[in-house]
Amino acid sequence: MIAKLLVLLCALAAAAAVPVYAPAVPAYAPALTAHAYAPVAHAVAAPVIRAEPVDPNPAYSFSYGVADPATGDQKNAAETLQNGVVHGSYSLVEPDGHVRRVTYTADNVNGFNAVVERTGAAAHAAPVAVAHAPIAVAPAPVAVAAPVAKLTLPGIAHPWG
């Protein structure tokens, strides 16, 4: 134990005896001082950020449609924005065969207003009669599980039992 303490004290003494590195100032440059070793900061100009011009009267128009004879999927939509008022409509074929058409307008004064039209006749598929044979169901035997034995390992105790 004393030997370990002696080795530790010797290591600490050796570490304290090592001089701290300080850059030497050359004899031929007496004008250099400690501030000459400081890092030099360069000024970087901040990037100029210009806002995109804002259109005071934006306008757009779009439309699309789908007509798939294989699946019977039919729908379309169209919308325009002009002078701050949105005009649009969409239509689709409902599962029962009716065509639903919604025409709407929206603006900051009146809000959103829609007119819903439902046209056409319901086109239901004719029901198909299917005859089923009676199914015999026998009661299944009920299985009862045997109690589970509690296993404990010798010498190991758990706080929960």
Q: 87 in a domain, yes or no?
A: yes
Domain total of the chain = 1
Q: 78 in a domain, yes or no?
A: yes
Q: 102 in a domain, yes or no?
A: yes
Q: 106 in a domain, yes or no?
A: yes
123-134 burial, b for 16+ CB within 10 Å, e for fewer?
eeeeeeeeeeee
Q: 101 in a domain, yes or no?
A: yes
pLDDT tens digits, residue range 26-58? 555 555 555 555 566 777 888 888 888 888 889
Q: How far apart are CA 97 and CA 121, in angstroms?
A: 6
Q: Is the pLDDT of residue 22 over 70?
A: no
Q: How far apart are CA 84 and CA 53, in angstroms?
A: 18
pLDDT tens digits, residue range 47-90? 888 888 888 889 999 999 999 888 888 899 999 999 999 999 99
Q: 5 in a domain, yes or no?
A: no
Q: How far apart are CA 161 and CA 157, in angstroms?
A: 8
Closest CA to 105 of 87, 83, 91: 87
- Provide the edge-to-edge strand list for the sheet that holds 73-82: 60-68, 73-82, 85-93, 99-107, 111-119
Look up residue 25 and give its DSSP letter. P
Residue 79 belongs to domain spanning = 60-119
Q: 25 in a domain, yes or no?
A: no
pLDDT score of 107: 94
